[in-house]
Structure 1
Amino acid sequence: MDPLAQLKDIHIPAEVHNYPVAYGWWILLAVIIVLVAICVSALKKHKRKVQAKRAAIKHLSGPITNNDEILTTLKWAATHYFPRDAIAQLYGKELNDFMLKQLPEKYHQKFNQLAEPGLNSRYKVNEKVLDKDLLQAALLWLKHALPANNGQKIGEEMS
């Protein structure tokens, strides 16, 4: 008897389908969708948070005519990150102290040198000139102090 005659023909198994997809893939897809949604939301929140900062820097980089315009722009930007009623009443030394509290420690000396004369002379009679040092101090403050990420309100800092 021939052993090869007893062999049967090779049968190919039925084709394996990809559907329905296993539960693990659905869970992975859901996790990825949630992570993408969280990332997009965080990106939008960050863009909204720095929008006022960018607008103020752009405004100060343009043609500025006097110190009042610089200080008004600084206060406008600060009101986007801190309560308006606390910012609006600040001027002179109080405004300088507030701005220093928002800056990282390494910029305090430079900011004081640039800003103190301009902040203290704002309410003098014929002070409608442009102080380039005050402009540089304003740009320094906007770039390094905003957005306020310390989580404290102005009332907590000032008391």
Structure 2
Amino acid sequence: MNPQDPLTQLKDIHLPETGGWWPPAPGWWLLAALCLIALIALAVAWKRHRARTLWKRQAKAELATLGQQIRNEPSWYGDLNRLLKRVARQTHEHRHPESMTGDQWVEFLLDTLPKDRIASRPTAEAMVAAAWQPKPAIDPRNALTFATFWLEAQL
């Protein structure tokens, strides 16, 4: 080796350093923005859905509470009828169920049942009448079963 030889001083080819991971390329910024927009849109849609279905969750919770506090008293039947009317107002607002009483309310309940309308008539009539009778003639468990069946048909 000759120290004077300029070829011996040459080094191997070196590739330039990569740009690193930061800052990302414009395509990654666009993808991140689209993901963020999609996440925000999903959160807003989920929040709206929860707000629209709040009454359903509240109705189910109130029915469960009434099921735990079964009493053969007119006030319990009144609470049960009020719950059904609130649900009916949400699901059939064009028929104005909140103003129905007595036979008209019974007919509405039976009309909005999907099946077993004839078999459910005595239970519905007794449940509606029990709210005004000092000694209700219906077993509260039967009324609760009818109310559960009707409520699940509406939800």
Q: TM-score, normalised by structure 1?
A: 0.65
* Residue matched to 2:124: 119
Distance 2:148 2:39 in 1: 34
- 1:74–1:138 contact (8 Å) kept in structure 2: yes
How far the C-alpha of 1:73 sits from its partner, in A, is: 0.8
Contact 2:124 2:146 (8 Å CA) reproduced: no
1:89-147 CA distance string (max 9 Å, x none): 331112321x22xx5xxxx23x663x42232232476375353222112222323421x
What's 1:145 paired with? 154
C-alpha contact 2:91 2:154 (8 A) present in aligned 1:
no
C-alpha contact 1:64 1:70 (8 A) present in aligned 2? no
For the pair 1:93 / 2:107, whether they are aligned, the reply is yes
RMSD across aligned positions (CA): 3.3
Find the aligned partners of 2:140 and 2:123 in 1 and give their Cα distance: 7
**Structure-2 change in CA distance of 1:96 and 1:81 (3 Å):** same
Tell me: higher relative CO, structure 1 or 2? Use CA pairs within 8 A at least 6 residues apart. Answer: 1
Number of residue pairs matched by the alignment: 137
CA distance in 1, matches of 2:153, 2:44: 24
Deviation at 1:8, TM superposition (A): 2.5
Q: Which segments of 5 or more consecutive residues in structure 2 lack a partner in the other structure?
A: none
Partner amino acid for 2:64? S
Q: Is the 8 A contact 1:78 1:87 kept in 2?
A: yes
Does residue 59 of structure 1 match 2:69?
Answer: no
Q: Which runs of 4+ in 1 moved over 6 A?
A: none
Percent identity of equivalent pairs: 23
**Mapping of residues 1-159 of structure 1, within 5 Å:** 5=7, 8-10=10-12, 11-62=14-65, 63-65=69-71, 66-83=76-93, 86-90=96-100, 91-97=105-111, 99-100=112-113, 103=114, 108-109=115-116, 113=119, 115-121=120-126, 122-123=128-129, 126=133, 129=136, 130-146=139-155
Q: Distance in 2 between matches of 1:72 and 1:64?
A: 15
Partner secondary structure for residue 54 of structure 1 = helix
Number of the residue aligned with 1:152 = none
Alpha-carbon displacement from aligned partner over 1:49-79 (angstroms, at most 9, x marks no partner): 3322222222222214343321211111232
In the superposition, the TM-score normalised over structure 2's length comes to 0.66
Letter of the aligned partner of 1:131 in structure 2?
P
